[in-house]
Structure 1
Amino acid sequence: MSSDLRTALAVSGLFLMPGALGAQELIALDEIVVETEAPSADLATASETTVDAEQLQTEFQGASLDTVLRSMAGVTTEGEGGEMAVNIRGLQDHGRVAVTIDGMRQNFARSGHGANGTFSVDEEMLREVSVTRGAGAKSGAIAGAVELRRVTAEDILKDGARTGGDLRLRYGTLSESPTVHGALAARLSQTVDIMLAATHKEESDYTAPDGTRVYAWQQSRSLLGTLGVNTDNGQRFTLSLDRTDKDFLSGVASGYPRDNDMRSRSLRFGYEAEDILGWRVEGSLYRTETRLQQATLDATTLAATGVGRSYDTATNGLLLTAQNYLMIAGREHDVTLTLEGFRDSADVDDPSGSLTPSGAREIWSLAAVDRIALGAGTLTLGLSADSYRLDSEQGRASGAALSPRIALELPLGASFTLHAAAAMAYRPPSLNETLVSGMHPEPADFQIEPNPDLDPEKSRSVELGLSYARRDLLTQGDRLDLRATIYRNTVDDYIGLERVGGLFDSYYQYGNIDKVRIDGLEIEARYDAGQLFAGLAAQLIDGTDRSTGEELDRTAPDRLVMTLGLRSADLRREAGTRITVSGSKTGSSLTYGAWRTVDLFFRQEITDAAEFGLTLNNIFDQSYTPHLDTQPQPGFNAQASLILRF
């Protein structure tokens, strides 16, 4: 790891402390909101970062989701073409990170040399991106959770308007054709509202600064429709349907190119009630379907060879939460109950033989969280009961466990707050680990056998954090938020692929390979004085396989992200820069060099209903490959945006 970057991170942390306020105006991350209040209902405590709609439209106008996520401490991504996987604090794959879109689990998975557990989303539809770091953020998630919220009628219909719309046009050096996104909403009556949104986007291939030709073309089309009905007694019923189609190439650089058609569909029924016997209730029933069809291409001509395969995953899910404020023994209790259940059905059609098994997985979870007021502090107690069942032609597996959590938030004076937490979490083995069976494709042909006796992974994590929040610090109305967190996550019975047997009768099998331990430091900060905003996101991560002493491949290098921005006096113009500094990774089988990039962004309100945006990315044309990527990123690129609201 880069000692220079570690020094920079340490110095940056010192500059952000209240004793060095003069330096705060030089470092920023306006897109990061440090959440230090109520944690997720599924977690005793959490390090949470949220990017809202305004920040998505300014600092990240038209950016890919991986750009947004990589601006957060402790988060990185992996993917190719239209697929993406998220890595939080060095862990990913097989459900270690739970990803939801509007509360719906994204559980598509297939075995391969890349990520195992990917999803696809239309970034233009997004209005909020929230990441919770830490064990137990969702059932089975020992690393954390990513929650993506898409546009709703409430986002479009402002100030009681009966109709409204949002039209976005974007075009840039990486665009094959202009990106067009539109959303229309209407209140049909005092109780009924509807919305329809659509996007067409086509990206182009590019040549990286080092001369590598990267086949990054992809075309995506998406539709989203919602219907909402409000009742006089504070209840709301919603129905949403969506589809996202993505076409892209993969495997060109490795010599095994494929044409990919990825089709995602979902149907969701939602329910909200402000008061049912004193409880605030939210619930949803949903079904998501993802189908990936791949056609093998000739490695030289990229012409279709006629060989294909397909992967289908359908998820039926239920999510129900109830919250109430109770007085027990003279103390205020904020109680949240969560019931979640989902069933995945995987169907694989691969004439050449697949290492992704067909079958079904069913998971149920019941969690209770109690936030207890202790004077100025808060004690949070949590307990979840989780169970799983796997079924396929290769066998069956099942299990259950209890996972406790505890956290404490303790004010230290007027501005400082101490955060401490300990949590246990439980990740059931996936179908692709437990019941996989077959021969690895040539040239590395070897047998992989199922292991229905796999034990679930068990995570034990601890966090200690210190936050500082103060208003009117340098000028009237400004605000500084700072949070530094150190953590340790130890995973027992970690599941990985290992060789079994002797020289002449060996095969591979997923097994419990003892322990991994991940230690880290995260710093997030934001300073906002209206016309000036500044902040920082930094991470130090060390991951070790305790059975071998080796560094984990998927723990990200040290990273520092800084942003500085200015707004005009009337707040109608905004300009800023984002600087990303990543250290090198050389201590594992995956090696990456250090790199730095500088991006610029600009936004100008033309009228109350129109605004122009411009982003200039990698302005120094640096050649770099982020951790977990296999292809170099684009050099200098630009994109212009026009947003119309009516």
Structure 2
Amino acid sequence: MSGLNARACALLLSMSIVALGAVVVVGPVHAQSAEASSQAVQPAKPKPIKRKRAGAPMAEVPVPQAKLMNANAQIGQPVYQSLDEITVAATKTQERAIDALAPVSVVTLEQIQGRNASTVGDLVYNVPGVWLQDRGDDPSTAINIRGLQDFGRVAVVVDGARQNYQRTGHNSNGSFFLNPELIGGIDIVRGPTANIYGSGAIGGVASFRTKDIQDVVRPGERWGLDTNTVFGTNSGRALGSIFGGVHVNSNVDVFAGGTYSTQNNYKDGLGVTVENTAQRLSSGIAKLTVRPADGHEIKLGGIFQEDIYNVGQPRRPVGQPFAQPGAAGNGTSVYATNLKNYTTTLGWKYSRPDDQIFDWDAKIYWNRTDSQQVKTLHNSTAATGNCIGGRPGNSITGCVGDQRSYLIDTFGFDFHNTSRFETGDWRHAVTYGGDGFRDNVSTADKSGNSNKTTPGGERTVTGAFVQWKTNYTSLFEMVSAIRYDNYQLSSSAGSASGDRFSPKITIGLLPASVVTPYVSYAEGYRAPSITETLVDSAHVATGAGQGDFSICPDGTRGFFCFLPNPNLRPEVGKTKEIGVNIKKNDLFRAGDSFRGKLNLFRNDVDDYIDSVQFTGPPFNSFPPIPGVFPTTYLQYQNIAHARIQGFEAETMYDANDYFVGVSLTLQEGKNTQTNIGLYSIQPQKVTTTAGLRFLDNQVILSAMWTSVKSNTDIPVTYLPGTSYDLVNLYLQVRPTKDFALNFSVENLLNQYYRPYAIPRAADFTSPQNDVLWASAGAGIVYKAGLRYHFGGS
């Protein structure tokens, strides 16, 4: 890593020196974020909505009003950079992403509408430091930020509501369900620099905003309606959506919409059909916004999603890639799944330019994920038992025809207020608040043991914070914060609790200039999850003679036994970071712009929780019983220390008629106790984006090339992912401001690729076949979409 550090430091230093020469062209302006904005960002509606205030506008980098309009209305409007988007994710105060003294990235509605996305991963795969651990036979999304994922290490919020779904299996241990057609914008913050955003986010925050009335009703319109239809190859993909809104009067808005999509089984880059990748997804959304008094806004929102799919992989015929004869070629059990997700939020915002004391945002929410499954196929050749009528199955994975279920209810709240004041040339913004959530998990399995490997229980997590953001003229900015976290776990098997204070401080120079260097130190705190603490029972044997030698505490037998650990300690992430923000307009010619964010970081995680496999006598049997094999255990344990470090860059040059940008990630992560790399680390990703605009922005042709290097420094218990080059092409044609055609070619090179490391079987000699097969991305896909806008006054 010393070589990587040296190269990254040299790059940071050289770019800073070159760009500092341009600082003199920028006159003194107010610092960005501690002062109320004189140009509030207004949604597209007849009467402006008063929203959270940004800092003083930067004379060098104006925010074009075109960005507030629906993407179909962009013809003839000046282009803008996504890093100029307003975000509140880093500090809960409004600021442009390029000005934030934090590694924050933004995905805009315009970018979303140009990609014909089938998954959330299609929208964020090019963001530095971000990886996905998805399966083709499961429509959920699992986000990895800076090598950290699972069990809440990345805080995922949808319209402010935490998404805490987790189920143990041959996939990630933390995912969420969100149809990409519902998304109106994405903010991603890397690292615990956003620790004020909520407990557990030692990896970062992924905040999703769903569509709202300003996304479909344009300036001057009273009502608006957007329709979208997409068709694609390589599985018969089809999607349809409709969203509409109306300004009932100057103080009441109504918005609603729905989506429906379907696809058949796709083929990977080797031309092999990946079974059970067929899906049928539907969703609906509705929002009511009321402004009862000047500065006040109350919003009630609801989202419903239903996903119907089969998860699991049947045996592959011998002769196909990665197929093997005998027990080594087994797939896994297949479950017909009906999953429903509900999200309800109620928010109350208050903000007035003349009120420096109160600027609050309060929200309560409820999120439910309800997964109902029926086993339809048993793949193991091991002896069956415990199934009535001789049906295939066993006491671990259940019997064909039997049901199992998982239900999580998350109730939460989030409140924060910002007060502003000045002392001489110093401007201050003090933000303070609290948040909390309670997870209620209930599981049931008629004939299997998934209710033990994902145990039920209750977790309560609460926290409070205070943040002080101060600016001295245009020379200096500091953001300091302290957060308190408390957690409690309880179930029939036991309980656990803990608390901690976590600090943060960031110092930046020349916040309003072309080049803004900053340094940051932040700590994050993640409580153990219910599963990590209480997981129990056996992992099934996969074939005859493949071993049910391990005798577990609950009497079940299998390859190995999950062992609970009620003494787990919380993880503490400590991140040191050096960053540089670069922003320059009229760089080479009038009207062009350059934006760049560079970050060098090291995250030291104390008491990192990882699964540890070991052998010992059967439970409560010492000395060993003659003739009984030693038992293999898998338990979540605290390892002394894990270190993740790397370099990230996000750049974009836009000359109006063409644009080019690079997103770069270089990182490594190790268990410092064993000096073995972490399986969740991806060492290198480079995404190059380039495009051309024609006919006054009516035609946009672009390409994205993502080059990824495989991580081979991982435990023997995992099979590395593949290195790959993913090339996507996009064409947007807008003959009128209301009509748009979108075409795309995904995986142009038709490459076979597996983006992440997958677990091996318990004997370490072969991978888990279902993950091996289902983690392969789709081969080449052609898509065509038609988007139309209706509106009137």
**Pairing 1:529-548 to 2, within 5 Å after superposition:** 529-548=655-674
Q: Secondary structure at the match of 2:510?
A: strand
Residues 9 and 560, structure 1, Cα contact 8 Å, conserved in 2:
no
**Residue in structure 2 matching 1:353, options 434, 449, 474:** 449
**Residue in structure 1 matching 2:359, options 257, 275, 280:** 280
What code does the residue aligned with 1:584 have? S
State the Cα deviation string for residues 201-247 of structure 1 (Å, max 9, x = none): 00221222313221211110000011111123221111112210011
In structure 2, the partner of 1:27 is none
**Pairing 1:347-426 to 2, within 5 Å after superposition:** 347-351=442-446, 352-354=448-450, 355-375=453-473, 376-411=475-510, 414-426=513-525
**Residue in structure 2 matching 1:101, options 134, 158, 162:** 158
* Aligned-residue offset at 1:592: 2.3
* Aligned-residue offset at 1:635: 1.8
Return the alpha-carbon distance in structure 2 between the equivalents of residues 88 and 37 of structure 1.
Answer: 18
In structure 1, the partner of 2:552 is none
**Residue in structure 1 matching 2:343, options 229, 248, 266:** 266
Q: Secondary structure at the match of 1:50?
A: strand
In structure 2, the partner of 1:204 is 264
In structure 2, the partner of 1:467 is 581
* Aligned-residue offset at 1:623: 1.9
Return the alpha-carbon distance in structure 1 between the equivalents of residues 272 and 236 of structure 2.
Answer: 19
Q: Secondary structure at the match of 1:266?
A: strand
Distance 1:548 1:627, change over 3 A: same
Does 1:516 pair with 2:516?
Answer: no
* Aligned-residue offset at 1:335: 1.4
Q: Secondary structure at the match of 1:442?
A: coil
What code does the residue aligned with 1:611 have? A
Q: Secondary structure at the match of 2:127?
A: coil
Does 1:626 pair with 2:703?
Answer: no
* Aligned-residue offset at 1:38: 7.4
* Aligned-residue offset at 1:39: 6.4
Q: Secondary structure at the match of 2:110?
A: helix
What code does the residue aligned with 1:306 have? G
- Between 1:254-263 and 1:514-523, the stretch displaced more is 254-263
In structure 1, the partner of 2:73 is none
**Pairing 1:438-449 to 2, within 5 Å after superposition:** 438-443=537-542, 444-449=558-563
What code does the residue aligned with 1:622 have? Q
Structure 2, gaps ≥5 residues long: 20-79, 94-99, 315-330, 381-391, 394-398, 543-557, 620-630, 758-770
Distance 1:439 1:635, change over 3 A: closer
**Residue in structure 1 matching 2:121, options 66, 78, 89:** 66
* Aligned-residue offset at 1:337: 1.4
* Aligned-residue offset at 1:296: 1.9
* Aligned-residue offset at 1:136: 4.9
Structure 1, gaps ≥5 residues long: 21-29
**Pairing 1:167-186 to 2, within 5 Å after superposition:** 167-174=227-234, 176=236, 178-186=238-246
**Pairing 1:467-486 to 2, within 5 Å after superposition:** 467-486=581-600
Does 1:114 pair with 2:171?
Answer: yes
Return the alpha-carbon distance in structure 2 between the equivalents of residues 454 and 608 of structure 1.
Answer: 57
Residues 103 and 597, structure 2, Cα contact 8 Å, conserved in 1:
no
In structure 1, the partner of 2:605 is 491
In structure 1, the partner of 2:74 is none
Q: Secondary structure at the match of 1:98?
A: strand
* Aligned-residue offset at 1:261: 1.4
Does 1:156 pair with 2:233?
Answer: no
Residues 182 and 198, structure 1, Cα contact 8 Å, conserved in 2:
yes
In structure 2, the partner of 1:451 is 565
Return the alpha-carbon distance in structure 2 between the equivalents of residues 192 and 299 of structure 1.
Answer: 54
In structure 2, the partner of 1:434 is 533
Does 1:33 pair with 2:88?
Answer: no
Distance 1:38 1:284, change over 3 A: closer
* Aligned-residue offset at 1:577: 0.8
Q: Secondary structure at the match of 2:173?
A: coil
* Aligned-residue offset at 1:565: 0.6
Return the alpha-carbon distance in structure 1 between the equivalents of residues 166 and 88 of structure 2.
Answer: 32
In structure 2, the partner of 1:642 is 786
Return the alpha-carbon distance in structure 1 between the equivalents of residues 15 and 253 of structure 2.
Answer: 46
Return the alpha-carbon distance in structure 2 between the equivalents of residues 38 and 504 of structure 1.
Answer: 53
Residues 517 and 544, structure 1, Cα contact 8 Å, conserved in 2:
yes
**Residue in structure 2 matching 1:190, options 235, 240, 250:** 250
**Pairing 1:9-158 to 2, within 5 Å after superposition:** 33=83, 40-41=90-91, 45-58=101-114, 60-80=115-135, 81-137=138-194, 138=197, 139-158=199-218
* Aligned-residue offset at 1:255: 2.7
Return the alpha-carbon distance in structure 2 between the equivalents of residues 32 and 554 of structure 1.
Answer: 28
Distance 1:280 1:377, change over 3 A: same
What code does the residue aligned with 1:190 have? S
Q: Secondary structure at the match of 2:428?
A: strand
Does 1:525 pair with 2:585?
Answer: no
Greater Rg by CA: 2
* Aligned-residue offset at 1:159: 0.9
Q: So what's the TM-score if we normalise by structure 1?
A: 0.92
* Aligned-residue offset at 1:195: 1.0
Return the alpha-carbon distance in structure 2 between the equivalents of residues 242 and 414 of structure 1.
Answer: 42
Residues 35 and 47, structure 1, Cα contact 8 Å, conserved in 2:
no
Return the alpha-carbon distance in structure 2 between the equivalents of residues 11 and 634 of structure 1.
Answer: 39
* Aligned-residue offset at 1:36: 10
Does 1:232 pair with 2:300?
Answer: no
Q: So what's the TM-score if we normalise by structure 2?
A: 0.76
Q: Secondary structure at the match of 1:425?
A: strand
Residues 42 and 136, structure 1, Cα contact 8 Å, conserved in 2:
no
Distance 1:66 1:182, change over 3 A: same
- Between 1:503-512 and 1:356-365, the stretch displaced more is 503-512
Does 1:582 pair with 2:708?
Answer: yes
Percent same amino acid among aligned pairs? 28
Return the alpha-carbon distance in structure 2 between the equivalents of residues 598 and 39 of structure 1.
Answer: 30
Q: CA RMSD in A?
A: 3.0
In structure 2, the partner of 1:25 is none
**Pairing 1:302-341 to 2, within 5 Å after superposition:** 305-328=400-423, 331-341=426-436
Residues 271 and 779, structure 2, Cα contact 8 Å, conserved in 1:
no
Q: Secondary structure at the match of 2:116?
A: coil
Return the alpha-carbon distance in structure 2 between the equivalents of residues 45 and 312 of structure 1.
Answer: 39
